[in-house]
Amino acid sequence: MNTATISPMNTEVRLLDDAKIIGLVGLAHSSSHFSHLILPLMFPAFIKAFGLSYSELGLVMSVFFLVSGLGQASSGFVVDKVGARPVMFVSLLLFAAGCFWCAQAKGYQDLILVAILLGLGNCSFHPVDYTILNQRVSAKRIGYAYSAHGLTGNLGWALAPVFMVGITQMSNWQTAFACAGVVYLVIFGILLIYRESILTQSHNKAHVSQVAQVEQAPGANQQVPIFKLPVVWLCFAFFFFSTMTLAVVQNYSVIILQALYNVSLQSATMTLTCYMLCAAAGMLSGGFVAAKWPTHSDRVVATCMAVGALLVALCASVWLNGFLAMVVLAVTGFALGIGGPSRDMMIRRATPKGATGRVYGVVYSGLDAGFAVAPSLFGYFMDRTWFSGVLLCGALTLLVSVIFAFAVGRQASHNA
């Protein structure tokens, strides 16, 4: 009798606890994605203010993601050592510092320094977020947690154009960055208030002891150093190539749409926002897909990447008119978004127990590596007005990522 009475209450409390954790982590994740776009959205303003080329501005973003990638690979070890919460707090303060510094930037050197600060802030979020989610959210809701995580990230991307461009049009780009800094401080305050909800088991001595026992067990996966696991580098390669396409969209899609299809700046900017919103909707749908087919995550990811590659290539063909090109690009976001939660499930299947922070740090540094290489590489093409070629290269890198998605799936099944 008592069990029947208590069980529903415990289930309800657990649901509320999971929702609270997912919401707080999602808020932090959206702030990370927001940081990816605040600099490239201001490229036209920086060109006007400082007389910079696309290659020089692409280098700014390369510095951002190079710092983020190197930091992400190492931050996973820090997260496993000291816990996710303090690392998250430091990251948010670095974001705020970068925004406030950019608000008073006087030239190219200031932009490079801003890129370093923002990159240091961004580097820890995937190890932090996935450590909290994997340790604090119940197993039956982890697929939905991944979906919400990806969705909030895309909402951060979607908010950035509206926020930064909107404030710039009402005032100037300096004010936009100052306001962004205030937003980061507000998010820091919210997470500080609810800090107990994001306390990970890394602070729990019993948990640390259990992890150590698992890692020392005969035949355990943890006997093999993380850097020697083939599946880790296959995941890294998947993120590297799939992210290069996203870097094209984030950094240059507005300019490419204007050049190839003669659409207005406002329409092109809105298309980028629609892309991110569609990606968020895809993430929401993808959560149900990931929950339904958790053991076929690699196939789901590969299918979504292949469809996305075809849509990007269609935009590059210039067979469409301006309106249809914007619609197709937005739909591309939905196709790729569906694969997001399955992508995270695919990585989870490949992750040894007790090594979440380290594996996610190394694997997701592939995302930063793709973002670091693409802006400078494609900035060179942009300076030479090879606009269709940039989109075609983006489609090609997505197709390459399909190969690595299947390879990750085979390796994870072999190691299971």
Express each pLDDT in 358-410 by its tens digit: 777 778 778 878 888 888 888 888 888 899 999 999 999 999 999 999 998 88
Residue 7 belongs to some domain of the structure: no
Structure confidence at residue 412 (pLDDT): 67
d(C-alpha 187, C-alpha 195), whole Å: 12
Lowest mean pLDDT among 7-21, 45-59, 308-322, 380-394: 7-21
Residue 356 belongs to some domain of the structure: yes
Residue 213 belongs to some domain of the structure: yes
pLDDT at 102 over 80: yes
pTM of the full predicted structure? 0.73
d(C-alpha 369, C-alpha 308), whole Å: 21
Structural domain for 154, as ranges: 12-415
Highest mean predicted confidence (pLDDT) among 90-94, 140-144, 296-300, 378-382: 90-94
Residue 409 belongs to some domain of the structure: yes
Structure confidence at residue 408 (pLDDT): 86
Residues 6+ apart with CB under 8 A from 266: none
**More confidently predicted of 78 and 170:** 170
Mean pLDDT of the chain: 84
Residue 156 belongs to some domain of the structure: yes
Lowest mean pLDDT among 51-65, 96-110, 339-353, 400-414: 339-353
Structure confidence at residue 357 (pLDDT): 63
pLDDT band at 222 (very low <50, low <70, confident <90, very high): very low
pLDDT at 336 over 70: yes
Handedness of CA 400, 401, 407, 409 (dihedral sign): negative
d(C-alpha 180, C-alpha 120), whole Å: 17
d(C-alpha 167, C-alpha 163), whole Å: 6
pLDDT at 285 over 90: no
Structure confidence at residue 91 (pLDDT): 94
pLDDT at 125 over 60: yes
Highest mean predicted confidence (pLDDT) among 121-125, 149-153, 227-231, 326-330: 326-330
Residue 2 belongs to some domain of the structure: no
pLDDT in tens, 28-78: 999 999 999 999 889 889 999 999 888 898 899 889 988 988 887 777 778
Residue 5 belongs to some domain of the structure: no
pLDDT at 8 over 60: no
**DSSP code of residue 224:** S
pLDDT at 206 over 50: no
Structure confidence at residue 3 (pLDDT): 38
Whichever domain contains 234, its CATH number is: 1.20.1250.20
- Total domains in the chain come to 1
Q: What percent of the chain has pLDDT over 70?
A: 86
Structure confidence at residue 1 (pLDDT): 39
Structure confidence at residue 6 (pLDDT): 35
pLDDT at 202 over 90: no
pLDDT at 111 over 80: yes
Structure confidence at residue 274 (pLDDT): 92
3-state helix, strand, coil in the chain (%, to 5): 90, 0, 10
* DSSP secondary structure string for all residues of 46-115: HHHHH---HHHHHHHHHHHHHHHHHHHHHHHHHHHHH-HHHHHHHHHHHHHHHHHHHHT--SHHHHHHHH
CA atoms within 13 A on the CB side of 252: 34
